[in-house]
Chains A and B, each alone.
Chain A
Amino acid sequence: MSDKRRAEILAKRAKLEEMRKAKAQRQAEADRRTSLGRTPPPKPDDRDLDDYIIKIIGQPRGVDTGELTPSIPGTPSLSNIPIPGTSHSGRASRGSNEGSDRLPLDSSFGRYTSSGTDHVVDHTLIPRVTVDLIDIEQELFELPQKERVLYNKEVQTRDLSDENDADAAQAEVELRERILRERLAEAESAAAREKELDEESVRLEKEIEAEIRDLTEEERTIILGAPEFADFVESSTKIIQRALNDNYDYIRDYTLGAESGVDDSEGKRVKRVCAFFDERYGKNRSITDVDWSPKYPEISCAAYNKNPAALNEPDGLVAIWNLHMLERPEFVLHSQSDVLSVTFSPFHSNLVFGGTYSGQILLWDMRSKHLPVLKTPLSAAGHTHPVYAMQMVGTQNAHNLITSSTDGLVCSWLVDMLAQPQESLELIHAGHSKTGEVAITTLDFPNNETTTFMVGTEEGNVYQAHRYDRAGAKAGLNQYDVYKGHTGPVMGLHFHPLVGPVDFSDLFLTCSVDWTVKLWRAKSLTNASGPPPPSLSTNLSSSTSGKSAGAAGSHAAAIAPIYSFEEADDYVYDVKWHPLHPAVFGTADGSGKFDLWNLNTDTEVPIVSTAVSSGRAINKIQWDKKDGRRVALGGSDGKLYIYDIGDMGVPRESEWADMQRTVSGFAGAGQGGYGDGESGTRVMAGR
């Protein structure tokens, strides 16, 4: 490449030379106009030449250069004057022309015209003017003057204008001045051009120097080892990967060609958007919890448990995934023990909370690196058992993180003070026949409630609990209202999100290992059962006799579900209501199936059932918070599946009324015919 450049530079230099020559020639021509015999030469340089010439030629005839620019016809006198060819050598290219220039008269002028660069002079053959003396100047080239004797073979007589000496003299003076001026102008322009060329050649040389050069191995090693290089690679590859994933070809021309691909999105299809899986971090791990970011709708996170095969990797991981970057997680956060639950902080866009197998609660900041920024201590003040459920309650200014572990301890934490819980509450089931401990597997708060919540336990019962003492009830578990229905551990519990004209927020769904999903209505606080007054007797028992909860609040009773969904044929691991549609919810089961239900359409079977991962269980579901179009499914194979349900989650106006009717249909049928003392009232075809 630089060869080319060098060649270019050379070419430029050659051009420069030519221009200089041209300029010199022009000046020479101008000089030629000046009479040889002029005593005061117009320029100091000319003086020498003039002298020299005079010496050689003899007296100038007084004919002058008057004919400078135009119409300076060949002076016949010129012919007589053999002018030494000064500075010929410098004008190699014009040698012949020079020679002819010496020759006065028409012929010479004819040749003048032919010399291309002499645009200064346009020659009209007006043989009016005086003799044209050939005065050759060596302004540009300091070359020794070469003596050259030339004879013009043409007209050898002098011109007629010889006679007009006086005029000639005057004209001479004027012309001399003009010549001076023009020369100056020419010199300036030539100087400017020279400068330009110089600059350009300098630039070219600089370019040659600025060539791409190779790194030595040492330099390369140094660069590759620098931490800032690693950071640069991280951030820039993330940006590029996100840009690569943007598949829209924005220069597509829609007027050309027919699109062969048909978009086959029907209304009733559940489509897989992507499956996030990281080779390094997801192998041999299961996803234990999933959450969507409240601030950035494309960001989701998944919590992973231990990889038993890799002992050097951290036991617990949280990976933050971006829908626009499918190959790798945005961030990977580490933990020392398996992370069982994770949630984004709804009030700070960068914070992620996690609850672990060891009972520690960790707080990560996405802006810092892998390790948690805050941890709860492993002490008796906090949890010492696995934390399977956590929830953030409160408002922007006053919020708490509520966590629960399998020993029945429910703690409430302040976000910035994880050293000890703000309050801790041990849920004890006093009246239980076997043990007072309540093994909490899942926990949920009704919408807009911060003090009363429901817990699901390992034995299959669901209890209501209060964080604080109220009039009439102490803080803790309400043992008198047992939501009895499941025969296996309750894996998921979700309250109906409060949205829309009708309030269904007392409905909640539970799912359990006993292959069923049940719909319940929570008793309101005022209705909650309290300890039975001593006078009432026989019907009351908190044990297994099934009775539907009456409106009388003072009975400790077992509360039966409103409805039970029996569709699944494997453990049902999670159930979640749709955030916008009142009658839609999704379930995930152990055979890798994701069922989408719409109670207004059909209460017996799901409307869409999708096999998400063949054979591997889906552990957790979480609906996208913004518009509920997407759902994140965390699988036990370590993959996070994102599905798009399209328009099925978009509620119409009538949905609420329909749902109300559905629910009252359930409840009515439940009231009407209940089972015979069996726990878990079954409702047959509620609608």
Chain B
Amino acid sequence: MSVPTGVSNASTTTPPEIEQTLAMLSGHRSVLGYMVLSRGGTVSIIKHSGVVFEGEQGRKYAGLIERIVESVQTGLEEISGEQNEGDEIRFLRIRTKRHELMISPAERYLLAVLHDPSS
């Protein structure tokens, strides 16, 4: 079982543009946190911010998000069949009672943002 060995949020080598862009994202008034994951094989957290994605809970979210995206992708593939290239997910927006989780998946990476729309 992977024990978090120094999961550091601010890696020392984040390019400044990326840092700035993500900081702008997390600075939005209703955003509670974001998480950048890398997909493909195993899922790993590249970068995250916000209390809600810290530590163990962050991993849970990461696993959950990856499972959600995987299952939706599989479902889409089932539906669309083999002949056409198939649909692919562009954006997922899960509105729960308390929050809204927005997931923007790509081939190798994934950006998830948790925000509170009523604030």
The interface bits of chain B over 1-37 (1 if a CB of A lies within 8 angstroms of the residue's CB, else 0) are: 1101101000101110110111011001011000010
A212 touches B21 (CB 8 A): no
Interface size in chain B (residues, C-beta < 8 A): 46
Min CB distance, B49 to chain A, in Å?
A: 13
Which positions 100-119 of chain B face chain A at CB distance < 8 Å?
Answer: 102, 104, 106, 108-109, 111, 113, 115, 117-118
Say whether B44 faces chain A, with CB atoms less than 8 Å apart: yes
Count: A-B pairs, CB below 8 Å:
110
CA distance A480 to B111 in the complex (A): 66
Say whether A233 faces chain B, with CB atoms less than 8 Å apart: yes
A224 touches B1 (CB 8 A): no
B44 touches A215 (CB 8 A): yes
Say whether A236 faces chain B, with CB atoms less than 8 Å apart: yes
From B15, B42, B113, A240 is in contact (CB under 8 Å) with B113
Min CB distance, B81 to chain A, in Å?
A: 26
Asked, given contacts A229-B109, A232-B109, whether A213 binds B42 with beta carbons under 8 Å apart, the answer is: yes
Min CB distance, B8 to chain A, in Å?
A: 8
| Chain A residue, CB-CB nearest to B30 | A244
B45 touches A237 (CB 8 A): no
CA distance A687 to B23 in the complex (A): 57
Asked, given contacts A214-B45, A241-B25, whether A228 binds B102 with beta carbons under 8 Å apart, the answer is: no
From A223, A236, A244, B31 is in contact (CB under 8 Å) with A244
B13 touches A224 (CB 8 A): yes
B5 touches A221 (CB 8 A): no
Of the A-B pairs whose beta carbons lie under 8 Å apart in the complex, a sample of 6, sorted by A's number, is: A214-B45, A223-B38, A223-B46, A243-B93, A244-B30, A328-B21
A214 touches B11 (CB 8 A): no
The residues of B with any CB-CB pair to A shorter than 8 Å are: 1-2, 4-5, 7, 11, 13-15, 17-18, 20-22, 24-25, 28, 30-31, 36, 38, 42-47, 59-60, 62-63, 66, 90-91, 93, 95, 102, 104, 106, 108-109, 111, 113, 115, 117-118
B44 touches A243 (CB 8 A): no
B111 touches A237 (CB 8 A): yes
The interface bits of chain A over 649-687 (1 if a CB of B lies within 8 angstroms of the residue's CB, else 0) are: 000000000000000000000000000000000000000
B11 touches A237 (CB 8 A): no
Asked, given contacts A2-B1, A213-B2, A243-B91, whether A224 binds B18 with beta carbons under 8 Å apart, the answer is: yes
| Chain B residue, CB-CB nearest to A229 | B109
Contacts of B93 in A (CB 8 A): 243
From B91, B109, B111, B113, A244 is in contact (CB under 8 Å) with B113
CA distance A228 to B46 in the complex (A): 14
Say whether A225 faces chain B, with CB atoms less than 8 Å apart: yes
B11 touches A221 (CB 8 A): yes
Contacts of A223 in B (CB 8 A): 38, 46
- Further contacts, 12 of them, CB under 8 A, given A229-B18, A233-B18, A233-B36: A212-B2, A214-B4, A215-B44, A220-B46, A224-B11, A228-B108, A230-B17, A230-B18, A234-B21, A239-B91, A240-B104, A243-B102
